Chains A and B, each alone.
Chain A
């Protein structure tokens, strides 16, 4: 891994809800930042710089919000950097923050992702009509449905694998007090019987629309060594992207995803991800993306991902590769924060601080985010030991 050592020493999240009417955008980001600082046992003055990310500005219609949020983030007179990579932005934002530490530019960086979907219309912002063109795409579900159909055809996966993922993640969410959806009485049959929105994607196989923010404090080795709580060391970081429509593009298993995973595992010295990674937080906004990414990242061979789901390998209870113990994007989706939540939950697992969804004996965790037309990827590997 390039550069100086970097560790996660603090994590802060807001409660995720459909409408956080009790706080403004500055109030929302400050809530997550305060919790991250408290966890890191730091004050605003201890922070050298802020790296912030969110989904495109036209979702809420507030342009360059990083400028007016600087004050709420204790960042007046300090450097603030904004990251833009669509849905993967929470992950990329954390990686940019890590790169500032690894490069020796800053010693203590606050990084944060947020979204206030209640003040936004993300679904139609993602399906803007183009002049002189026909428009038959209804939101992100409409975009990803044909890709999922290709996967189902290619892998001969049973039809209800997606429902199994959705039911699992909603059960996991019951263990996470920050999760948006707490569907205590949900049954598997209710998931199966929920309406088809974008066939083959059912209502219960899609992510909710959430308000929320997630923050982390990343530091250099000196500060991490002084931390009184356990820290999560960064073992590998990688970002890759590709165009969303070119001849021969594999939309089901994009080259950028495969290359990003290969790079992050090479940095972390991991040869056998299935056995060396203890817990996974993966960006799964539509249920079928769990088996698809399991294959693409290399946790199993191509065409085998759905079998891991079917066998319960990705369950919190009894699975040897638990995926999205927090409930995942399927249970909380403040878009600009969703990637950072994956990265932060990976950190909590490594630190042994994930509460009721803590997996026993975690030594290495994997955080993942994707965005755009499954074309932007951000991944990291964290560990209990110094790399």
Chain B
């Protein structure tokens, strides 16, 4: 039940044949030309404060005094209102899985990730937005909504001012969060 045909296009009759010197040569279909651009990255005050605390294995968020909402990672503003935020609060390095994807697609440059891996929305205790993180230290099949997880930090001598200090998140063994308290989606 294939549909009718695509109508032809009325184009001017141009001579687009190759010059004699390259007649019979296999035509070039495409050329890959990788490009790169080096630049200085200025993360801004909120991100710098967050990243520097990371070097001490501390997780900082920002609190909006108007709404009481806590944002981690901090972005300097409340995205809903545009209000500039300057109050930092320290959060525990544990929380729960709001939702997740069991991923069978490799990420270039992440040879450390064996397939499948669990990409999870992590909501830290006391935070009002989540962020994507890897949950490991258990079989991906065991990952579930509401599962409690804690940060698996790099060894102290490998710490830098980077969120990569947290190698992954792993189950704590605590009871799961009840479904109606899980963040993400509807938002608790």
Interface on A for B, CB 8 Å cutoff?
A: 15, 21, 31, 34-35, 38, 61, 118-119, 124, 127, 129, 131-139, 141-142, 145-147, 149-151, 153-154, 174-178, 182, 184, 195-199, 243, 245-252, 355-357
Given contacts A150-B186, A174-B3, A246-B79, 20 further A-B contacts (CB under 8 A): A15-B6, A21-B29, A119-B30, A131-B41, A132-B47, A132-B161, A134-B133, A135-B110, A136-B107, A136-B110, A137-B132, A138-B107, A142-B103, A174-B2, A177-B3, A196-B102, A196-B116, A247-B67, A356-B1, A356-B3
Question: Which listed residue (A38, A127, A199) contacts B116, Cβ 8 A?
Answer: A199
**Cα of A356 to Cα of B3 in the assembled complex, Å:** 6
Inside 8 A of B145's CB, which chain A residues have their CB?
A: 149-150, 153
Q: How far is the CA of A113 from the CA of B103 in the complex (A)?
A: 31
The answer for the CA separation of A245 and B78 in the assembled complex, in Å, is 10
Is there contact, CB below 8 Å, between B99 and A150? Answer: yes
Find out whether the CB atom of B129 lies under 8 angstroms from the CB atom of A247.
yes
Interface string of B1-20 (1 = CB under 8 A from A): 11111110110000000000
How many of chain B's residues have a CB under 8 angstroms from any CB in A? Answer: 59
Decide if B179 is an interface residue (CB 8 Å cutoff): yes
* B101 CB within 8 Å of chain A: yes
The secondary-structure label for the interface of chain B is loop
Name 19 A/B residue pairs within 8 A (Cβ), A-sorted: A129-B109, A133-B163, A135-B107, A135-B110, A136-B134, A142-B105, A149-B100, A149-B101, A149-B145, A150-B186, A175-B1, A199-B116, A243-B79, A247-B71, A247-B80, A247-B187, A250-B186, A355-B3, A356-B3
Task: Indicate whether B153 reaches chain A with its CB closer than 8 angstroms.
Answer: no
Q: Give the residue name and chain of the B residue nearest to A173 (CB).
A: B3
- Assuming the A-B contacts A132-B164, A250-B185, are A149 and B132 also in contact, with contact meaning beta carbons closer than 8 angstroms in the complex? no
Contact at B3–A357, with CB atoms within 8 Å?
yes
A249: chain B residues at CB < 8 Å are 187
List the 3 closest A-B pairs by CB distance, nearest first. A146-B99, A145-B101, A150-B185
With A136-B133, A149-B99, A246-B79 as known contacts, state yes or no: A199 contacts B104, CB within 8 Å: yes
Residues in chain B near residue A38, CB distance under 8 A:
10
Contacts of A248 in B (CB 8 A): 128, 187
Contacts of B1 in A (CB 8 A): 174-175, 356
- Quick check: A146 and B101 within 8 Å, CB to CB? yes
| Residues of chain A contacted by B9 (CB below 8 angstroms) | 31, 34-35
A138 contacts B105, CB within 8 Å? yes
Task: Please determine whether A127 and B101 come into contact, CB atoms closer than 8 angstroms.
Answer: no
B94 is an interface residue with CB less than 8 A from chain A: no
How far does the alpha carbon of A107 sit from the alpha carbon of B124 in the complex, in Å? 55
A174 proximity list for chain B (CB < 8 A): 1-3
Whether B105 pairs with A146 at a CB distance below 8 angstroms is no
B105 with A197: CB separation less than 8 A: yes
How long is the Cα–Cα vector from A248 to B186 in the complex, in angstroms? Answer: 6
B residues adjacent to A (C-beta < 8 A): 1-7, 9-10, 29-30, 35, 41, 43, 47, 51, 67, 69, 71, 73, 78-80, 98-110, 113, 116-117, 119-121, 128-130, 132-134, 145, 161-164, 166, 179, 184-187
Report A-chain residues with C-beta under 8 Å of the C-beta of B43. 131-132
CB closest residue in chain B, given A16: B6
Are A252 and B5 in contact, CB atoms less than 8 angstroms apart? Answer: no
> Do A146 and B100 touch (CB < 8 A)?
yes
Q: Which residue of A lies closest to B146 (CB)?
A: A153
Within the complex, which residue of A137, A151, A250 is in contact with B187, where a contact is CB–CB below 8 Å? Answer: A250
> Chain A residue with minimal CB distance to B106?
A138
CB distance from A356 to the nearest CB of B (A): 4
In whole angstroms, what is the CA distance A154 to B98 when docked?
A: 13
Complex Cα gap A153–B35 (Å): 43
B104 touches A196 (CB 8 A): yes
**Complex Cα–Cα for A198 and B104 (A):** 6
Is the pair A61, B79 in contact by a Cβ cutoff of 8 Å?
no
A171 CA to B70 CA, complexed, in Å = 47
Task: Give every chain B residue within 8 A of A124 (Cβ-Cβ).
Answer: 108
Please give the distance in Å from A137's CB to the nearest CB on chain B.
Answer: 6
Q: Give chain A residues whose Cβ lies under 8 Å from the Cβ of B7.
A: 35
CB-based contact B186/A142 at 8 Å: no
Name which residue of chain A comes closest to B135, CB basis: A136
Contact of B185 with A251 in the complex, beta carbons under 8 Å: yes
- Assess whether A134 is in contact with B164, with CB atoms less than 8 Å apart: yes
CB distance from B168 to the nearest CB of A (A): 9
Q: Shortest beta-carbon distance, A334 to chain B, in Å?
A: 15
Instruction: Give A201's nearest chain B residue, CB to CB.
Output: B101
CB–CB A134/B128 < 8 A: no
Residues of A within 8 A of B185 (CB): 147, 150-151, 154, 250-252
Question: Which residues of B sit under 8 angstroms from A15, Cβ to Cβ?
Answer: 6
Query: B128 contacts which chain A residues (CB < 8 A)?
Result: 247-248
A57–B71 Cα distance when bound, in Å, is: 30
Contact A356 B184 (CB under 8 A): no
A199's closest neighbor in chain B, by CB?
A: B102
B119–A137 CB distance below 8 A: yes
Q: Please, which residues of chain B bring their CB within 8 A of the CB of A131?
A: 41, 43
